[in-house]
Amino acid sequence: MPRSPLTLSALGSFALALTLTSCGGDNSLTLYSGRGEDLVQPVVDLCSEQLGVDIKTRYGDSAEMLLLLQEEGQNTPADVYFSQGAGFLGVLSASNGLLTLDEAITTRVSNSNLISPANDWVGVSGRARTVAYNSNVLSEDDLPDSFTDFTDPKWSGRIGWAPTNASFQDHVTALRGLLGDDATRAWLTDMVANDPVAYDGNTAILEGVASGEIDVGFVNHYYLYRFLDEDPSFPVANHFFDDGDPGALINVAGAGVIIHSQLPDIAQQLVDCLLSTEVQNYFASTNYELPVVNDATPWSDLPKVDSLTLPTFDLNLLADLQGTVDMLVEVGAL
């Protein structure tokens, strides 16, 4: 029997494993991105070139990246956290995990509702909550005046929502900020009584609306335009609620600098880069999100964020995810 090839390959593997260990501590930035690579990598490449530093990016779910930051504590290799929603940034802000940003950066955002009250994170792109409706079955006039009126029994079984989705949960947290816990709980209870169909996310809801499984769905505004890109006859339209209505929430994807960053100045420059006109226009044109700075242009006839009267509340309140999840469980939505 010849010398076992398995033993040799195993020894070889160990040697390889040792040489492949990562190198840290050099002069490069580490970005934890809760948004996907397809969307973010072009931005990272651009900013890396502008700042003249290497940027290593770890992609994952926003919540998972936050968990990672929490478990890592002060040993985190991350310099910047880019989150899909304000809630996760609020959690970090509340635990003093973020560095206060220079005023020159925070003042670039045109609507002060879209930055942290503690000035330790900024919104990078706006995502309006809308109601997607099947345009073959309904016209915009059929929709209620207020988002809160979907408790009307005539909508029974016709609504799709995504109780496990972070954007939906953020919206419920916002409602708690706007209406108070009791009113929100009552609203949720009435909604559950209306038998909404639970989906896993925005894409699934839109497919459900298009297939006629449901007539309306609670979504973020921008997913629809991707479907329309592929199929202009996709039978779904977005309804934006009027200014000040609890349905008119704008959540943001946002970024902040980790307090333990070894390179806080360059890290701030990266956040600044995310607010540059070029990057802002990129998010607006490729992902149909709302730019948060004045000199960028929203896609098509989407609104400019500084022209909107948003229901006033502090986006950091979105950090109370636990309260929202508890409430969703309590009313039977989760």
Partner 1 sequence: MASRQTQDDASVRVAALVVGIAAALPIGYLVWRAVQYGLSPSIDIATSSRTIALLRSTLVLAVAVTATSVAIALPVAWLTVRTNLIGRKLWAIVTVLPLVIPTYVGSWAMIGAVGPRGMVANVLGVDSIPSIYGFWGAWASLSLFSYPYVLLTVRAAWVRLDPSLEEASLMLGRSSWHTFRHVVWPQLRPATSSGALLVALYTLSDFGAVTMMRYDTFTREIYLQYRGALERGASAVLGLILVVLTVSVITGDQQLRKRNDMYRLHGSGARRSRLVELKRLQVPALAGLGILSTLALIVPLSVISYWLVRGVRASEPVWPSWSLISNSLIVSLLAAAVATIASIPVALVIQRSPGRFANTIERLSWSGYALPGIVVALALVYLGANAIPWAYQSMGMLIFAYSILFLPQAIGAVRSSLIQVTPSLEEASLLLGAQRFTTFRKILLPLLRPGLGAGAGLVFLTTMKELPATLLLSPTGFSTLATRIWNSTSEGFLGRSAGSALALVLLSSVPMSFLLVRNQGMMSDLSKQPVASHDAGNAKQALPSDPTDTR
Please report, as ranges, the residues that interact with partner 1 according to CB under 8 A.
1, 4, 6-7, 9-10, 13-14, 16-18, 20-22, 24, 30, 35-39, 56-61, 63-64, 66-68, 70-73, 75-77, 88, 91, 164, 166, 169, 198-200, 202-203, 207-208, 210-213, 223, 226, 230, 321-322, 324-326, 329, 334
Give residues with Cβ within 8 angstroms of 50, minimum separation 6. 273, 276
Find the shortest distance in angstroms from Cβ 89 to partner 1.
Answer: 12
Q: Which is nearer to partner 1, 193 or 329 (CB)?
A: 329
Q: Coil, strand, or helix at residue 53?
A: coil
Q: Which is nearer to partner 1, 102 or 213 (CB)?
A: 213
Q: Which is nearer to partner 1, 214 or 248 (CB)?
A: 214
Token representation of residue 79: 């310099």
**Residues 40/57, Cβ–Cβ less than 8 Å:** yes
- R_g of the chain computed on alpha carbons: 22
Q: Which of 214, 244, 252, 251 is nearest to 311 (CA)?
A: 244
d(CA 37, CA 45): 11
Q: Which is nearer to partner 1, 31 or 99 (CB)?
A: 31
Find the shortest distance in angstroms from Cβ 274 to partner 1.
Answer: 17
Q: Which is nearer to partner 1, 198 or 237 (CB)?
A: 198
d(CA 76, CA 322): 24
Find the shortest distance in angstroms from Cβ 30 to partner 1.
Answer: 6
Find the shortest distance in angstroms from Cβ 47 to partner 1.
Answer: 15
Find the shortest distance in angstroms from Cβ 177 to partner 1.
Answer: 17
Give residues with Cβ within 8 angstroms of 263, minimum separation 6. 27, 29, 79
Find the shortest distance in angstroms from Cβ 74 to partner 1.
Answer: 9
Q: What is the DSSP string of 291-317?
A: E-BTTS--STTPPPGGG--PPP--GGG
d(CA 201, CA 218): 10
Q: Which is nearer to partner 1, 146 or 203 (CB)?
A: 203
